[in-house]
């Protein structure tokens, strides 16, 4: 949390204060154990998780499962400027089912028969700019988070008499512009005295009528009592996260009808943490 304005003022008020540069770096990396929520669908015609036999008409059942994925994040705080947090998460769903389809998905035409292997890549990159409230016990940060959806939908199946793969990346209409979601951001955290544990949670959300993104997590971070703690703290973080994406026909005035979907993914995560 960016409390550097208060800290800088206190430093200037003490004649013999340390001249240490007021900069803070936090980072973490680990592994998500993801699970696909019931009723998840894309293009309104595809039931992602169902393994039921397809009848040749919508909804088409793709038999997908959520795969575990890596994540990594870093947060930098410097005096008099907003904190900057960057986070990447790998989030991939895939499955195979016998399907006979002829519908558009994310603007691309899918006309396939037989055993179709499909992949929905929800991996994303976040860039958040936040400011903090200078409270004595609890750290509260709020600001804006821009999320770039860097994946899309792809399927491999028989087209005519040949096996082909068709890709439909996340983009706005036919322009090829990446789908970037601006969201509000809030995080709350507090240290438990005497045990080296920090607990907290964060949420990024965009509720706009038929389109909404909500991504939240709660976690605990434990820092090991190492001799190097004066320079850098090393520890473990673990928690639970929930990702929910609903895309309607229009988002912030842009035509997103080709991306219409409703997907939820959630699960526990475990990783390493660092505070410098």
Full DSSP string of the chain: ---HHHHHHHHHHSTT-------EEEEEEEEEEEEEPTT-EETTTEESS--SPP-SSSSEE--EEEPPEEEEEEEEE-TTS-EEEEEEE--EEEEEEE--EEEEETTEEEEEEEEEEEEEE--EEEEEEEEEE--SSEEEEEEEEEEEE--EEEEEEEETTEEEEEEEESEETTTTEEEEEEEEEEEEEEEETTTTEEEEEEEEEEEETTEEEEEEEEEEEEE---GGGGT-EEEEEEEEEEEEEEE-SEETTEE-GGG-EEEEEEEEEEEEEEE-
The more confident residue out of 39 and 183 is 183
Cβ atoms of residues 271 and 30 within 8 Å: yes
Q: pLDDT (tens digit, 9 = 90+) per residue, 107-122?
A: 778 888 889 999 999 9
Residue 175 has pLDDT above 80, yes or no: no
Of 124-128, 201-205, 208-212, minimum mean pLDDT range: 208-212
Q: What is the pLDDT of residues 56-72, one digit of tens each?
A: 777 889 999 999 999 99
pLDDT band at 174 (very low <50, low <70, confident <90, very high): low
Model confidence at 97, pLDDT cuts 50, 70, 90, reads very high
- Is the confidence at residue 46, as pLDDT, over 50? yes
Confidence of residue 173 (pLDDT cuts 50, 70, 90): low
d(CA 111, CA 101): 5
pLDDT band at 9 (very low <50, low <70, confident <90, very high): very low
Q: Is the peptide bond before 59 cis (omega within 30 degrees of 0)?
A: yes
Question: Where is pLDDT greater, at 59 or 147?
Answer: 147
CA 104 to CA 160: how far, in whole Å? 17
pLDDT band at 23 (very low <50, low <70, confident <90, very high): confident
Over 50: is that where the pLDDT of 14 sits? Answer: no
CATH code for residues 4-275 = 2.40.128
Determine the Cα–Cα distance for residues 163 and 42; give it in Å rounded to an integer: 23
Give the model's pLDDT for residue 202: 97
- pLDDT of amino acid 18: 35
- The greatest distance separating any two alpha carbons of the chain, rounded to the nearest whole angstrom, comes to 82
Mean pLDDT of the chain: 85
Please measure the distance between the N-terminal and C-terminal CA atoms of the chain and give it in whole angstroms.
13
């Amino acid at each position: 949390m960016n409390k550097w304005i208060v800290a800088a003022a206190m430093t200037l008020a003490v004649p013999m204060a340390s001249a240490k540069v007021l900069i803070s770096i936090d980072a973490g990396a680990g592994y998500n154990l993801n699970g696909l929520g019931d009723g998840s669908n894309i293009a309104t015609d595809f039931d992602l998780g169902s393994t039921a036999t397809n009848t040749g008409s919508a909804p088409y059942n793709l038999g997908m499962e959520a795969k575990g994925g890596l994540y990594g994040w870093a947060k930098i705080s410097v005096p008099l400027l907003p904190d900057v947090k960057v986070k990447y998460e790998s989030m991939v769903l895939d499955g195979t089912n016998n399907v006979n389809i002829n519908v558009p998905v994310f603007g691309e035409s899918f006309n396939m028969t037989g055993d179709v292997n499909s992949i929905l890549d929800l991996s994303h990159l976040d860039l958040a700019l936040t400011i903090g409230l200078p409270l004595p016990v609890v750290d509260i940060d709020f600001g804006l988070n821009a999320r770039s959806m860097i994946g899309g939908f792809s399927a491999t199946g028989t087209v005519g008499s040949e096996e082909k793969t068709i890709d439909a990346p996340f983009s706005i209409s036919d322009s090829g512009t990446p789908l970037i979601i601006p969201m509000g951001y809030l995080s709350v955290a507090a240290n438990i005295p005497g045990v080296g544990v920090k607990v907290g949670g964060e949420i990024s959300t965009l509720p706009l009528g038929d389109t909404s993104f909500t991504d939240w997590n709660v976690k605990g971070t434990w820092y090991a009592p190492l001799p190097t703690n004066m320079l850098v703290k090393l520890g473990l973080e673990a928690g639970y996260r929930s990702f929910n994406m609903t895309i309607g026909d229009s988002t912030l005035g842009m035509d997103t009808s080709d991306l219409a979907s409703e997907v939820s993914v959630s699960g526990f995560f475990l990783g390493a943490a660092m505070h410098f």
